Chain A
Amino acid sequence: MSTQDLEQRFQDRIDAGEKIEPKDWMPEKYRKTHIRQISQHAHSEIVGMLPEGNWITRTPTLRRKVGLLAKVQDEAGHGLYLYSAAETLGISRDEMTEQLLCGKAKYSSIFNYPTLSWADIGAIGWLVDGAAIINQVMLTRTSFGPYARAMVRICKEESFHQRQGYEIMLTLCRGTAEQKAMAQDALNRYWWPAMMMFGPRDEESPNTAQSVKWKIKRKTNDELRQQFVDITVPQAEFLGITVPDPEMKWNEDRGHYDFGAIDWDEFWQVVKGNGPCNKERIAARQKAWDDGKWVREAAMAYSQSQENKTQSKIA
């Protein structure tokens, strides 16, 4: 069968709503796109542990501490599901780690912003996990089987993350004037980076058409962003704080909120490595990798020595 025929048959399967599995024939670009997307998603889970980890030892109560610990622990698990899904496509875990550390693979830009106050932990759970959930719910229907199944598990586990964050925001907003101001400040700093999480505008996103055709994405960046705005603005109103966008207003005709322009220069600066915490985040991952080296080696050496023991017994 010619490549063209194979590609046609592949597209027919996608159009019929079938899932693609690792051993199925797939266009090389489909494989590469998935390796890139799934590994970057995995890196985002792992790097995403850093800004929140920053507050685990300083939570205001024990109740907040166990909640935050459980959330960060979940993210480690989510990273693992995703790395495993990417490995089914023929890339090794070590290669992915290397790509993250050398800067070849990206992760979500939002994690390059600092967590300056306790309210930031609330804002992250509410906004960042809220945005991630919108994206991930879409991805439960993505065409690559292992990715879709990992997403189902992740979405199920993640439902508490956003509630955890919103509960923090609600408590602050019902507290003293100073606490409410903290919540407003966190919203001010996290709103626009959260809006950027959905990626460039559709007309600036050359891969979107192919990704939609292959059902890697089921909605465009702008559609997902609009969905996020429509859900989140009333939640901010409920808290009694204001989204930092003077152009934000309900458009009766469209049935959606209109919103102001995003500063895409900032987005690209952060993507290119010039965000407030890019260097710190990669340095932390590099340190974890280096410090873990003797543990990885010791475990392998122990396993080897056990095997040798068994073999000499048999002999």
Chain B
Amino acid sequence: MTEKSNNISPKSKSNSSEWPLFEIFIRSKNGLEHRHVGSLHAADSDMALENARDVYTRRQEGVSIWVVESKNIMASNPEKAGELFEPAKDKVYRHPTFYELPIELKHI
């Protein structure tokens, strides 16, 4: 695999009658963003929403659900993580502490 990105859907030997996999995102509280909580199989997105409600919000863990079919999510290749993320490592000048200001200075 030479590409940088890859579909997150596992390449299993499942037969074509298996329900597709969906990734589930939950907004835990008003004002917060949706976060990935896991995945489940469902025949379509409506069923995925209903099942996500039953599986992931039984104890009021959420106020909103997003579902997206796993095959529609592309993921970066872990083997390429080095070349993707290491370039940011030596860029200290993107951080506030790189700039030297006297401590007696206020509100900056």
Contact = CB atoms under 8 A, between A and B. Distances in A.
Contact of A235 (B30, B91, B93, B105): B105
A160 B39 CA distance: 38
A259 B18 CA distance: 72
Contacts of B108: 130, 162-163, 166, 235
B42 to A, nearest CB: 21
Interface stretch (B53-61, B74-82, B94-102): B94-102
A170 B102 CA distance: 10
- Which of B91, B94, B96, B108 has the most chain A CB within a 10 Å cutoff? B108
B89 interface: no
A234 B106 contact: yes
A14 B95 CA distance: 35
Contacts of B94: 70, 74, 160
Contact of A148 (B31, B98, B102): B31
Interface in A152-178: 159-160, 162-164, 166-167, 170
A234 B107 CA distance: 10
A163 B101 contact: yes
Contacts of A167: 99-101
Size range of the interface on B?
10 to 19
Given A66-B93, A160-B94, A162-B108, A19 B101 contact: no
Contacts of A66: 91, 93
A70 B93 contact: yes
A298 to B, nearest CB: 20
B105 to A, nearest CB: 6
A160 B96 CA distance: 4
Interface in B15-73: 30-31, 33, 64
Interface string A161-203: 0111011001000000000000000000000000000000000
Interface in A211-261: 231, 234-235, 238
Contact of B101 (A67, A148, A166): A166
B104 to A, nearest CB: 8
A12 interface: no
A170 B64 CA distance: 49
Contacts of A21: 64
A160 B99 CA distance: 8
Contacts of A159: 96
A19 B31 contact: yes
Contacts of A163: 96, 99, 101, 108
A288 B64 CA distance: 39
A163 B102 CA distance: 11
A63 interface: yes
Interface in A92-139: 130
Contact of B98 (A74, A145, A160): A160
A239 to B, nearest CB: 10
Interface of A: 18-19, 21, 63, 66-67, 70, 74, 130, 145, 148-149, 159-160, 162-164, 166-167, 170, 231, 234-235, 238
16 contacts: A19-B30, A66-B91, A67-B99, A70-B93, A70-B94, A74-B94, A130-B108, A149-B33, A159-B96, A163-B96, A163-B99, A164-B99, A166-B108, A167-B101, A231-B106, A238-B102
Q: Which 9 A-B pairs have the closest CB atoms?
A: A19-B31, A163-B99, A160-B96, A231-B107, A167-B99, A159-B96, A70-B94, A66-B93, A67-B93
Given A149-B33, A166-B101, A166-B105, 20 more contacts: A21-B64, A63-B93, A66-B91, A66-B93, A67-B98, A70-B91, A148-B31, A160-B93, A160-B94, A160-B95, A166-B99, A166-B108, A167-B100, A167-B101, A170-B101, A231-B107, A235-B106, A235-B107, A235-B108, A238-B102
Interface of B: 30-31, 33, 64, 91, 93-96, 98-102, 104-108
